[in-house]
Structure 1
Amino acid sequence: MLDWDDLRFFLALARHGSLSAAAKVLHVSQSTVGRRLTSLEATLAVRLLNRTPDGYVPTLAGVDVREKAERLEAEAIALERDVSGRDARLRGLVRVTCAETMAAHVLAPSFARLHAVHPDIMIELIPNQRELSLSMREADVSVRLRKPEQHDLIVRRIGGIAFGLYASPQYLHDHGEVAFEDGCPGHYLITQLDDNQEMTQTGWLTELASRARAVLQTSSHEAAVLAAANGGGLACLARFRADGERGLIRLPVPTAPPAADVLLLVHKDNRDTPRIRVVLTHITQCIHEQGARLQPEDAAGQDRVSVG
């Protein structure tokens, strides 16, 4: 008999291409993912995925099974939303996804207060640069700095984040004056990878320091902060994080880096679920209360840009 759980594991592996990535999304071990795939292939008596140097790739049969499984998944998710949307209890799990630095330095410290008022609501905080799918129930709520590509989401701007240019005193001592008018020759840059949310700030930095050399690219804002603090180069960083980092100096610049919108996302079918509404309200209040920290008054003149 076909096991729906086997199909769920197959879909995760087909979408993400590796045992490790699928296991991370499903919160299981890699061996469990492999075992479930073997079980499904044995049940159907056909190979569904081929392992290649670039990851797992669906066979012709796998493409057909994936299409049918995704239709079943969509129906199951719609049923789950319909039922959970009628749940009037302020209890249960709410999955919140956002970038690593936002999770650690803004949201996580605030959830103790939420738990004190609503002890039966369990928060699963998922720091992830990749935009988890709210449609596929990978998360219930998302806090992001750029507009999503999904069209079935409710999106609200709840705040802004200011950025600045930073370096360590030792780096500035070793590399000398930062000559912006000449494009910063002889200097090093720490920038974001192309799939990261802060590419607008990276564009500003590479234009400002056109003669500097990028020596580190990362999808982690936290890694960029620590790399800069340890003398790695010039980095455009969120002020709420970098202003308080010992070993970093914010440099005066001829043009301010663009700010970013803080966007709160929820699937349209989940917005009225009571426990999710409570979390949405809490996050909104948290961002509003920290407005002066996230976007200081002296950054008010920055252009506000939704990153993406």
Structure 2
Amino acid sequence: MSPKPTVPDAGPCRLDWDDLRHFLAIARHGTLSGAARALGVRQSTMSRRLAALEARAGAQLLQKTPDGYRPSAAGEAILGPVERIEAEADTVARTITGTDLRLAGSVRITSVETLATLVLMPVLAGFARRYPDIELELLADSRDLDLSRREADVALRLAPYTQPGVVARRLARVGFGVYASADYLDRHGRPDFAAGAPGQYTVLPSDELRQAPEMQWFAARTHAARPGLRCNRRQAALAAIEAGMGIGCLARYLGDGRGLVRLDAGPPPPARALWYGVHEDIRHTARIRALAAALAEGFAAAAARLDPPD
């Protein structure tokens, strides 16, 4: 009788960190598309990575529900350890980056879209000419990306940073004004802000931006007006005001010089500080320091445009 064939021991399950990173993104965002945007990859890549991870693990880690992907029992069990692995991997990456003395490599910058397009881009263009070996990546996004997780290296935001480990400094002041098109004013007349702008229409931001100081100021002066449009992009709000859909509050760098009428609504809206943020582990990296100096110089030169004295 011939002996039975020996089945080799499969050994411990060996998981790839990149697959685990994709699992974590899906668990956090609940959708393949949201996770793909967060990691900057294709949706098909997210699906393939998840399938590969579950095949290696021999277990279903995420369940697809009507509300999106949710961790299974096995997924819940590994969620905490995977988050700790992520934190350690991010620490290693920041430590390596922080000791890099070369004026080369990549820098990922995040900023709101209009600021990036109208003010930041000329600064980056000059920086790129001076440092051709530094590769810039710009994430024009209103989300508060996590610098500790290396979602971005440098961030420009109109609110103070609360993330642990982030070093921040004020880069500039941004002024605001109330605008309308000449055509809109011909049809509706000048707003009576003392009475709350009755008979007027307003262009308002989506819910996540309504708590901004300038929008609360604007809401107090237009409480009797009717919303003409709500939108989640400043560029779309500008287009709506230009199209005569209503009056709106815009940053001066966005509203000035476009043929719009800047309205006198009494004391001007409160200016806001523009903050530069970078994680403390990489702040002394040569390319980060070079970019910080270029941003300080560029935004100082743009000060009168960002917060005009009139």
Deviation string, structure 1 residues 100-150 (Cα, Å, up to 9, x no partner): 001100111221211221111111011001011100001000000001221
The answer as to whether partners of 2:210 and 2:216 remain within 8 angstroms in 1 is no
Equivalent residues in 2 for 1:1-308 (5 A)? 1-196=14-209, 199-246=212-259, 248-298=260-310
Kept in 2, the 8 Å contact 1:129–1:197? The answer is no
Aligned length: 297
Kindly indicate whether the alpha-carbon contact (under 8 Å) linking 1:129 and 1:196 is maintained by their aligned counterparts in 2: no
Q: Conserved in 2, the CA contact under 8 Å of 1:19 and 1:33?
A: yes
What do residues 166-198 of structure 1 show as CA deviations (whole Å, max 9, x unaligned)?
Answer: 011111112223111221112111112232387
Tell me how far apart the structure 1 counterparts of residues 231 and 35 of structure 2 sit (CA, whole Å).
22
Displacement of 1:4 in angstroms is: 1.2
Q: CA RMSD in A?
A: 1.4
Q: Which residue of 2 aligns with 1:304?
A: none
CA contact (8 A) 1:192 1:199 kept: no
Shift of 1:219: 2.3
Identity of aligned residues (%): 43
- Cα offset, 1:11, TM superposition: 1.0
**Paired residue for 2:3?**
none
In structure 2, what is the Cα distance between the partners aligned to 1:265 and 1:181? 39
For residues 10-47 of structure 1, give each alpha carbon's deviation from its aligned partner in whole angstroms, at most 9, with x where no partner exists: 11111122111111122211111011111112221222
User: What letter is aligned with 1:279?
Assistant: L
Provide the rounded CA distance (Å) in 1 between the counterparts of 2:211 and 2:270: 10
Q: Secondary structure at the match of 1:56?
A: strand
What's the TM-score, normalizing by structure 1? Answer: 0.93
SS at match of 2:257: coil
CA distance 1:260–1:80, shift in 2 (3 Å)? same
**Alignment partner of 1:66: what SS?**
helix
- Tell me which residue corresponds to 1:302: none
The Cα shift of 1:271 comes to: 0.5
**3-state SS of paired residue (2:132):** coil
- 2:268 counterpart SS class: coil
SS at match of 1:284: helix
* Structure 1 CA distance for aligned equivalents of residues 227 and 58 of structure 2: 51
Give yes or no for contact 1:47–1:59 (8 Å, CA) kept in 2.
yes
Larger radius of gyration: 2
Partner Cα separation in structure 2 for residue 62 and residue 151 of structure 1 = 27
User: Given residue 292 of structure 1, which amino acid in structure 2 is its aligned partner?
Assistant: A
3-state DSSP of counterpart to 1:269 = coil
SS of corresponding position for 1:195: helix
Structure 2: gaps of 5 or more residues: 1-13
Distance 1:253 1:49 in 2: 53
Q: Which deviates the most, 284-293 or 190-199?
A: 190-199
Runs (5+) with no aligned partner, structure 1: 299-308
